[in-house]
Amino acid sequence: MEQSLNISVVVPLYNEEESLGELVAWIDRVAKANALTYEVIMIDDGSSDGSWAEVERLKGEYSAVRGVRFARNYGKSAALYCGFAEAEGEVVITMDADLQDSPDEIPALYRMIMQEGYDLVSGWKKKRYDPAGKRLPSKFFNWTARAVSGIKLHDFNCGLKAYRRRVVKSIEVYGEMHRYIPILAKHAGFKRIGEKVVQHQERKYGVSKFGMERMVKGYLDLITVSFMSHFGRSPMYFFGSLGTIMFLLGGGTTVWVIADKLYKQMNGLPLRAVTDQPLFFVAILAIILGVQLFLAGFLGELINRNSSDRNSYLIDKKI
């Protein structure tokens, strides 16, 4: 592009036909009022309503609008990954398509990145309009994420975030890891992570696409991202170390059981056959588990070294 863009707004969407026109008009109004050059990248995650037709209409009305349409529903992480790949702005801002994230926050987020030197700024919906059944599990979830990651954010799952462009070009977002982008960014070496209290709007159209099952997925993903952050590039460090400990404990116990039998046999002391002792079978089990864990680490290293790009999504259309 001839002129460098100040911001790229990445908007994942799934069946949000009613809100898209209002959202783009709002972003356009805010950007022009603050003299910001911008693009809006709308990622249609396999919507079954008229969302893509609306994106095409907006493309004709606003030259800054770009669109990517998935052939099926892959999830928010896939949408963000593709949006990050397309983004060309100095600052990349993500927001949900349901109008619950306010574009009025964009100028302040842009300044925090460009003037205050943050690599990533996460929104904090301090006052939320969600029901208590959604807020309370979210608070516990965020507390756990803070404790595990050491990153002092109040709202890991807030869709409104701002990134320096090199951050989004340096991280992999896959599976359901969009909740943990700050952790992925920290692991990639971007440690200037800030937070901003943002306005949370009541949902104007449609219904939430997320149910309580996301809390279960969230904790499983937290375990995954913690493991990947420490051992993702070298699984042998985890499996190999654990396997070695198990093998040594099992082997040492086996030697002790056999040596104890031989000692008692040589000195005429009462003894039991090795195969009559439960401890012997526990030791053998530990040896087998140790070997299996070590082999798991070895196979993990082979797969990691030879795996192709895991992020492969079938894009149906792009404008």
> What is the DSSP code string of 11-76?
EEESS-HHHHHHHHHHHHHHHHHTT--EEEEEEE-S-SSSHHHHHHHHHHH-TTEEEEEESS---H
Claim to verify: residue 20 and residue 86 sit in the same structural domain: yes
Query: How does pLDDT run along the chain (319 residues), one tens digit per residue?
Result: 456 899 999 999 999 999 999 999 999 999 999 999 999 999 999 999 999 999 999 999 999 999 999 999 988 989 999 999 999 999 999 999 989 899 999 999 999 999 999 999 999 988 776 655 566 767 777 787 788 778 888 888 888 999 999 999 988 887 677 888 898 888 888 989 999 999 877 766 666 655 556 656 666 666 766 666 666 667 787 888 889 999 999 999 999 998 988 888 888 888 888 888 888 899 999 999 999 988 888 887 777 666 545 555 666 777 7
Claim to verify: residue 29 and residue 102 sit in the same structural domain: yes
| Rounded-to-integer distance, Cα 215 and Cα 260, Å | 52
Claim to verify: residue 257 and residue 200 sit in the same structural domain: no
Look at residue 2 and tell me if it is in a domain.
no
Claim to verify: residue 69 and residue 175 sit in the same structural domain: yes
Claim to verify: residue 167 and residue 273 sit in the same structural domain: no
Beta bridge partners of 70: 315
Number of domains in the chain: 2
- CA distances to 81, 182, 232 from 102, rounded to whole Å, are 22, 21, 36
Look at residue 310 and tell me if it is in a domain.
no
* Helical axes 51-61 vs 17-33, angle rounded to 10°: 30
Look at residue 319 and tell me if it is in a domain.
no
Claim to verify: residue 98 and residue 114 sit in the same structural domain: yes
Domain with 267, as residue range(s), is: 235-302
Asked if 287 and 247 count as a contact pair (C-beta separation under 8 A), the reply is yes
Claim to verify: residue 55 and residue 71 sit in the same structural domain: yes
CATH number for 150: 3.90.550.10
